[in-house]
Amino acid sequence: MLGVRVRGLSRRYLVRARPVVALDGVDLEVPPGSLVAIVGYSGCGKTTLLRHVAGLETAETGSVAFFGSDGQSRPPGRIGMVFQEPRLLPWKTVRENVGLATLRLPAGVGAGWTRIEETLALVGLTAFADARPAQLSGGMAQRAALARALCREPELLLMDEPFGALDALTRTHLQGELARIRLARSITTLFITHDVAEAVRLADTVVVMAAGRIMATLPVPLPHPRDPADPALAPLQAAVFATILGDARHPLAHQSETL
Ligand SMILES: Nc1ncnc2c1ncn2[C@@H]1O[C@H](COP(=O)(O)OP(=O)(O)OP(=O)(O)O)[C@@H](O)[C@H]1O
């Protein structure tokens, strides 16, 4: 399993010749096999952080490093990414989209195609393997996007508001699916969301960001998978909201480890 260690990460962008601070000395640890959720106001730097972890951007100051379960540093290996939009190729079938990044072999040849079928089954899309993206609902398309990421057998899953465009019921269902899949595969996951309830349901640790900085990290010490209606989640959600709103008087906010 892979872990991620971010140290002192800072990043500015020039917007109309004026510097915009996107990240300001971010320290973050994603332990191997865990899910860390990042919440925070729009524009606080969540996606910029994810892009640096993905290697899509180069750090201006600071570092992103990867380590194994033994704590020794190592290369990142395969990374799977899921975005808010499924980004499927409309002219390809669901099966072809899921296998796209994995395979160069003719259809049906080799063990890789078995993996595609297994991944389609894992996300419940076997019956739609020959469908085109236009024939899928939003939730099904997002499951296909998740399958495409999982099919690469990633050691690290980077998810940027993956359920943000879905209706509440579909979103709740897919949260359960993700929790089930992660329980089976223990894939280290960095998960960005605006939805505090989603973060608390899925995460081992919720990280609150504001203005390019990490304000707090709040552990969620409950077993997975979690029932979204579990009353034990409510005080943790309240603690995250309290931290976001900067209400240091909230009793549970004091349990957070402020960095
Ligand atoms: N390529 C870029 N060029 C210029 N400015 C950028 C670029 N990428 C991000 N920014 C700026 O950096 C800041 C952080 O952006 P980022 O997308 O990381 O925020 P976010 O927390 O993910 O927001 P949202 O929740 O709305 O997706 C914003 O002020 C944004 O305008």
Give the mutation target among 6, 11, 12, 13 for probing the ligand 1 site: most ligand atoms within 8 A of CB.
13
User: Among the atoms of ligand 1, which is closest to the Cα of residue 194?
Assistant: 25
Give the mutation target among 26, 28, 46 for probing the ligand 1 site: most ligand atoms within 8 A of CB.
46
Q: How far apart are CA 61 and CA 218, in angstroms?
A: 26
Q: Is residue 101 part of a domain?
A: yes
**pLDDT for 26-55, tens place per residue?**
999 999 999 999 999 899 999 999 999 999
User: Distance of CA 125 to CAs 53, 82, 120, 159, 233, Å?
Assistant: 30, 17, 5, 20, 30
Q: Which tokens belong to 106?
A: 């003719």
Give the range among 34-48, 101-115, 244-258 with minimum mean pLDDT: 244-258
The mean predicted confidence, pLDDT, of the chain is: 90
Q: Give residue 251's pLDDT.
A: 55
**pLDDT for 64-76, tens place per residue?**
999 999 999 999 9
| Closest by Cα among 44, 53, 51, 54 to 21 | 44
Residue 256 has pLDDT above 60, yes or no: no
Q: Is residue 121 part of a domain?
A: yes
- Give this complex's ipTM: 0.97
Average pLDDT over residues 98-124: 76
Q: How far apart are CA 234 and CA 247, in angstroms?
A: 17
Q: Is residue 80 part of a domain?
A: no
Q: Is residue 93 part of a domain?
A: yes
Q: Give residue 259's pLDDT.
A: 38
User: Among the atoms of ligand 1, which is closest to the Cα of residue 50?
Assistant: 18
**pLDDT for 131-186, tens place per residue?**
999 999 999 999 999 999 999 889 999 999 999 988 898 899 899 999 998 988 88
Residues within a 6 A CB radius of ligand 1: 13, 15, 20, 22, 40, 42-48
What is the tally of structural domains in the chain?
A: 1
This prediction has a pTM of: 0.91
**pLDDT for 171-205, tens place per residue?**
998 999 999 989 888 899 999 999 999 999 999 99
CA of 233 to the centre of ligand 1 (A): 30
Share of the chain above pLDDT 70, in %: 91
Domain extent at residue 135: 89-154
Residue 114 has pLDDT above 50, yes or no: yes
Q: How far apart are CA 235 and CA 220, in angstroms?
A: 10
